[in-house]
């Protein structure tokens, strides 16, 4: 049987909200999300895009027709509330044992199941069971969760209309846009730090790192959730989040990179920002520990 591991709710949340040119959920082999609850519970509510796995008379689980499990990059299974791999009984674990006979990548079981996930992310639960390709390509995506319940990052499009659901109370905007990109009602209840900066190698982001990190830290310490946003959510906001991880955890740049790329594989600060992050690493932890000529920076 293949390896079975627990998947924390934030991990699944980030899987659901990955994007390239369109949401990755529109890719046929990206994610197989299996709901192993009883049929009546599945119909009452489930996580968006989940497929219901049914059981035969002998209790054997079987997948919906036309699903090619062996091509899937990610397989996540959940039931109502399984929270440990040590549990001997549980529909998610039983389903993983069965599907593991024909799947050779790690199988992830959602820790806490549907009950915990839907309590944390109620806006990602649904009764909808079928999606067209057009619907998948136009799904509403949310900013990625970098520190669970504390720090998020995304693009300007993701930030519009998602702040209330995520209970965001502070925003760092790294772009040439202004606060007018956020509605008047949102501005009344949120602190916004605007850093008007172009995504160019010669742009000076380094001189802003201390101000940004102090802003993020102060709001997190107060219990507020913070969103870092740039136009595309790839270069500028990635550089800022890397700087904060170095500041907050005293990570090296390589450690911060390893942490962030697991949550946003497409993140990529431009070469100028990478050089500035190396300088920030020295200023923060007192030594240069990064070689930009070696992986993962090449």
Q: Would you state the torsion angle of the CA atoms of residues 39, 44, 48, 52, taken in this order, to the nearest 10 degrees?
A: 0
Q: Once rounded to an integer, what is the mean pLDDT over residues 75-103?
A: 87
Cβ-contact 101, 1 below 8 angstroms: yes
User: Has residue 184 got a pLDDT over 70?
Assistant: no
Distance (Å, rounded) from C-alpha 4 to C-alpha 217? 36
pTM of the model: 0.93
DSSP character string of 63-83: PPTT--GGG-SEEEEE-SS--
117-164 tens-digit pLDDT: 999 999 999 999 999 999 999 999 999 999 999 999 998 877 666 788
pLDDT of 185:
46
243-292 tens-digit pLDDT: 999 999 999 999 999 999 999 999 999 999 999 999 999 999 998 888 88
pLDDT of 62:
74
Locus of tokens 């310490």: 221
pLDDT of 177:
65
Q: Once rounded to an integer, what is the mean pLDDT over residues 210-234?
A: 95
* Count of beta carbons in the 10 Å neighbourhood of residue 2: 15
Delimit the domains of the chain by residue range.
Answer: 4-137, 144-285
Average pLDDT score, the chain: 90
Cβ-contact 43, 77 below 8 angstroms: no
47-63 tens-digit pLDDT: 999 999 887 766 677 77
pLDDT of 51:
92
Q: Once rounded to an integer, what is the mean pLDDT over residues 186-213?
A: 88
Q: What's domain 144-285's architecture?
A: Alpha-Beta Complex (3.90)
What's 50's DSSP letter?
P
pLDDT of 182:
59
Locus of tokens 């000529």: 293
User: Has residue 78 got a pLDDT over 90?
Assistant: yes
- Better-scored residue on pLDDT, 8 or 233: 8
Q: Once rounded to an integer, what is the mean pLDDT over residues 92-100?
A: 88
Q: Once rounded to an integer, what is the mean pLDDT over residues 200-224?
A: 96
- Better-scored residue on pLDDT, 90 or 273: 273
* Count of beta carbons in the 10 Å neighbourhood of residue 72: 17
Exposure on the CB side of residue 28, measured as CA atoms within 13 A? 8
Share of the chain above pLDDT 70, in %: 91
User: Has residue 183 got a pLDDT over 80?
Assistant: no
pLDDT of 65:
61
Can you identify the CATH homologous superfamily of domain 4-137?
Answer: Rhodanese-like domain (3.40.250.10)
């Amino acid at each position: 049987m293949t390896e079975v591991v627990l998947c924390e709710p934030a991990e699944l949340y980030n899987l659901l909200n990955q994007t390239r040119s369109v949401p990755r959920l529109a890719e046929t082999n990206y994610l197989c999300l299996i709901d192993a609850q009883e049929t009546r519970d599945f119909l009452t509510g489930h996580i968006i895009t989940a497929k219901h796995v049914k059981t035969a008379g002998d209790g054997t689980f079987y997948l919906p027709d036309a699903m090619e499990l062996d091509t899937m990059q990610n397989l996540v299974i959940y039931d109502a509330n399984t929270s440990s791999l040590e549990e001997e009984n549980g529909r998610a674990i039983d389903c993983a044992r069965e599907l593991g006979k024909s799947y050779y990548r790690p199988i992830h079981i959602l820790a806490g199941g549907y009950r915990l996930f839907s309590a944390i992310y109620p806006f990602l639960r649904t009764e909808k069971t079928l999606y067209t390709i057009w619907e998948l390509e136009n799904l509403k995506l949310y900013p990625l969760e970098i520190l669970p319940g504390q720090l998020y990052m995304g693009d300007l499009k993701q930030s519009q209309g998602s702040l209330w659901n995520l209970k965001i109370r502070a925003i760092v905007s790294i772009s040439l846009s202004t606060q007018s990109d956020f509605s008047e009602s949102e501005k009344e209840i949120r602190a916004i730090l605007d850093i008007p900066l172009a995504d160019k190698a010669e742009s000076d982001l380094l001189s802003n790192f201390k101000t940004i990190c102090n802003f993020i830290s102060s709001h997190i310490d107060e219990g507020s959730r913070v969103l870092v946003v740039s136009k595309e959510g790839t270069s500028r906001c990635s550089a800022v989040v890397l700087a904060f991880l170095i500041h907050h955890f005293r990570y090296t740049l390589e450690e911060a990179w390893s942490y962030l790329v697991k949550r946003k594989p497409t993140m990529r600060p431009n070469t100028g920002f990478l050089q500035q992050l190396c300088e920030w690493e020295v200023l923060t932890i007192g030594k240069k520990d990064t070689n930009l000529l070696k992986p993962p920076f090449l």
